[in-house]
């Protein structure tokens, strides 16, 4: 699988499949890329948890996503990381209010 496939699956809101694709890419990635890919994995898992009503899981994953992705802003490998971080921040605010119907990730 590839980063592009993972992003495509995220756009389609296929969170579990996106997680698998990105994790495959992460396993084979050189060290400098690993945190970026892991950050995207955390995004997919956060949205997956939110979709399944797991607020604590979503909160933890959103925190991890932000921490791992910040160093890659503003863009990295064609991904607007700043925009993703804005979506993570907005999702965190919703989840904090116990609102788990997150907007789709725009990539």
| pLDDT band of 1, cuts 50, 70, 90 | low
pLDDT of residue 57: 98
State how beta strands 79-80 and 75-76 pair. antiparallel
Does pTM top 0.85 for this prediction? yes
pLDDT tens per residue across span 39-69: 999 999 999 999 999 999 999 999 999 999 9
Coil/strand/helix, residue 44: helix
| pLDDT band of 2, cuts 50, 70, 90 | confident
pLDDT tens per residue across span 91-107: 999 999 999 999 989 99
Q: Are 102 and 91 in contact (CB under 8 A)?
A: yes
């Amino acid at each position: 699988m590839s980063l592009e496939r993972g992003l495509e699956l995220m756009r389609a809101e296929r969170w579990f499949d996106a997680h698998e694709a990105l994790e495959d890419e992460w396993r084979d990635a050189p060290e400098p890329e690993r945190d970026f890919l892991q950050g995207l994995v955390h995004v997919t898992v956060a949205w997956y948890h939110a979709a399944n009503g797991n607020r604590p899981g979503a909160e933890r994953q959103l925190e991890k996503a932000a921490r791992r992705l910040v160093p890659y802003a503003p863009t990295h490998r064609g991904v607007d990381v700043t925009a993703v971080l804005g979506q993570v921040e907005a999702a965190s605010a919703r989840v904090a209010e116990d609102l788990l119907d997150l907007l789709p990730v725009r990539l």
